[in-house]
Structure 1
């Protein structure tokens, strides 16, 4: 058990001075059973709900799965807090800006789509994390617990005396510009670009920023993210469990005379309630249901070392499985720095039509299949929409000398889903960053067909394509 002995004296949240250390303590491991205390002996011994909890705390369970789920999928944590989360004024509907879970209002668009970098808040306009969430596309219905949504966030203001929780599903947050300091009921997480954070259903959190910030959010309704099965890869590789980090218990003991706003996303709408105590008053917790972060630079890349371009599934960090074996509600895939050494191979991603929807974003550097995909922007190649390298990339890489090359200084990602993602009005029109000329990157592709082609001497040396006749 890791103890983090920290006592925060009573104070008014509206006047507190916050410091956010870059070096926080974390619990390592993915899906682990964790016990965490901010005060010694705050966790009850031998049971979850004693008649009287240590320090006069209240026991409160947060369930992330049905009580009767099998042990391997059962998710819950026990929180020991100063005031139960039930103590608040009634929720009332509030303005939700560009956030939406209604995907029937806008005309479908099967075209290849690319967005230039999403715009940051205008000068003089202060926008916090929740206010800055805009929905690009999605499918499904949180009321039926089925589907996924892609949002972007752009903000420049910290959430003061305000927290947020998602009743509909999990948030996988991918910062692209600016760090996020996230305060949760379980403790604090500092998340830089090239790291991700998962805030699971029902967990209350608040986001502080130090300046303009931008990033992407993948929301899933069905179940929770898990590590992909490795199959023939074996026991190790891809995202290793030890590199996932959960917060250490840390609490605020304070009353808020002006009121603390709790924002809930419920059935795709936003509601707010007022309470007069901090939602981050959890002194100790234990369980296997908590927020966590992961550094994408720790990813152990698997790739071909002989020939051909392997499917992008080898770059899956996390997956949210559907009820169909092998089919995901959504996968989170990255394209990190790596060596390319394949022989006799066209190395960039191949031309492709997919039964899945592919939303891609660039975090930094250049994406190897399209140099014009800028950091902070995105592409969407919907179900069965053809896509692949542009003409210049094809001509260059089909003729280049195939020597070992290290792809460096880049990190792109993909949200891949089995759902057919529908655009929102904001995603296609109001955001004003859609690239109307994207389709032109394929217009210079020309026929290279030669009916008189004959195999060369080099073709015969490609052992993997040579047949033997007896």
Structure 2
């Protein structure tokens, strides 16, 4: 975020003495990106932010990955995954897809999470359903269905659902931000961008969070890099990380609701980049929303067949009726994975059915990656083995996903 915010009590000049009414010095923490060369914020703590009293291994949920081999398109049903009542938004996540740049997980939760810090990269969590609060060192965000919740790397936070929440978690190994082409050289969202600063909602500051009685010896679950992979540590802090009396800067979490995105349409079918919301290293996030469609008299509103030779395409279907996938078994809560090296497009019956359409009532969140995606344990558990053969009108004869008899259904 390049947009400056100030909350709470900060000194007139950075890196100078800042004391409470009794003369006690507050402890300044710089939270910044790219080695002091990018966005940052300064936070002022009552306690010492680096004071830990214990550090133990946190065993992460299953992070195993299985290559998409032999290569084929996949249909993964997230709503078929089971989550028990004790699943929280941090430890209850199940890995669906991932590579070395980004991991996509899913969780259904109705309980508070532990304090958490992702030290690997930013998180962008899409709220499929539900509502609640995200408490952070910067203040509190309210979230609701349709929100993207963007959490910068190393932000200590916890999820507090007020309703059962279905969360689609995009975890980067990098930062996540608006596409550079949407931004001025100073970071303002430009006129051609499909959203603007008014649509981005930062944390609400509550001074009582820092001035009240806070717990000591507080455990924070930290996800971090280890040995070329991903590891977890339970760090116990002498004082509560939320003891911040004030902060200012351009780095903080925020929400953006999918309904505030203004779709860009055209006379003929528009390619996915016009639907882009965010970008990270080697991946992009797009959304496809209810919109007026192509108005050329001979237009074909559904996509043309395309070979994404440089990327894997992941679509998460979250609302309406996605026209291009009619007849495939895709429904709400489905993911389609169309890998690089495979020409994909609409189901054959969807092409003729779309002709003459003036409006599509559909919502989907797309992640395109520029390195192949592997399947996580949740992806394997939720797979529909018949999907790969649906363009040919075939169904599966067994659980191995192999083609079987021809079907016109």
Q: TM-score, normalised by structure 2?
A: 0.85
**Alpha-carbon distance in 2 for matches of 1:214, 1:225:** 23
Matched, 1:358 2:358: no
Deviations 1:365-401 (A, max 9, x none): 221211442222211111122221112212322xx4x
Further displaced range: 359-368 or 207-216 = 207-216
**Alpha-carbon distance in 1 for matches of 2:190, 2:178:** 17
Unaligned runs of 5+ in 2: 184-188, 395-409
Work out whether residues 359 and 415 of structure 1, in 8 Å CA contact, stay in contact via their aligned partners in 2.
yes
Work out whether residues 67 and 373 of structure 2, in 8 Å CA contact, stay in contact via their aligned partners in 1.
no
Deviations 1:416-445 (A, max 9, x none): 111211223x0443xx22111112321239
Secondary structure in 1 matching 2:265 = coil
**Alpha-carbon distance in 2 for matches of 1:365, 1:190:** 25
**Alpha-carbon distance in 1 for matches of 2:386, 2:307:** 20
Matched residue count: 375
**Alpha-carbon distance in 1 for matches of 2:43, 2:16:** 13
Structure 1 ranges of 4+ moved more than 6 A: none
Q: TM-score, normalised by structure 1?
A: 0.74
Change in Cα spacing, 1:234 to 1:288, as seen in structure 2 (3 Å) is: closer
Secondary structure in 2 matching 1:369 = helix
Tell me what 2:407 maps to: none
**Alpha-carbon distance in 1 for matches of 2:352, 2:178:** 39
The structure richer in strand per residue is 2
Secondary structure in 2 matching 1:31 = coil
**Alpha-carbon distance in 1 for matches of 2:223, 2:14:** 29
Q: How does 1:15-414 map to 2 (within 5 A)?
A: 30-37=1-8, 42-45=9-12, 47-55=13-21, 56=24, 57-67=26-36, 69=37, 74-98=38-62, 100=63, 103=65, 106=67, 108-119=69-80, 121-122=82-83, 125-140=85-100, 147-159=101-113, 162-230=114-182, 235-250=191-206, 251-252=209-210, 253-256=212-215, 259-267=217-225, 268-275=230-237, 277-304=239-266, 306=267, 308-320=268-280, 322=281, 329-343=282-296, 344-354=298-308, 355-371=310-326, 372-397=329-354, 400=355, 402=356, 405-408=358-361, 410-414=362-366
Work out whether residues 313 and 368 of structure 2, in 8 Å CA contact, stay in contact via their aligned partners in 1.
yes
Work out whether residues 391 and 441 of structure 1, in 8 Å CA contact, stay in contact via their aligned partners in 2.
no
RMSD of Structure 2 on Structure 1 (CA): 2.3
Work out whether residues 335 and 411 of structure 1, in 8 Å CA contact, stay in contact via their aligned partners in 2.
yes
**Alpha-carbon distance in 2 for matches of 1:139, 1:279:** 31
Deviations 1:14-64 (A, max 9, x none): xxxxxxxxxxxxxxxx52121111xxxx2101x222234345422111122
Secondary structure in 1 matching 2:202 = strand
Larger Rg belongs to: 1
Unaligned runs of 5+ in 1: 1-29, 141-146, 323-328, 446-470
Work out whether residues 265 and 294 of structure 2, in 8 Å CA contact, stay in contact via their aligned partners in 1.
no
Further displaced range: 236-245 or 202-211 = 236-245
Secondary structure in 2 matching 1:384 = coil
1:228 deviates by 4.0
**Alpha-carbon distance in 2 for matches of 1:273, 1:407:** 48
Change in Cα spacing, 1:208 to 1:360, as seen in structure 2 (3 Å) is: same
1:119 deviates by 4.1
**Alpha-carbon distance in 2 for matches of 1:33, 1:247:** 13
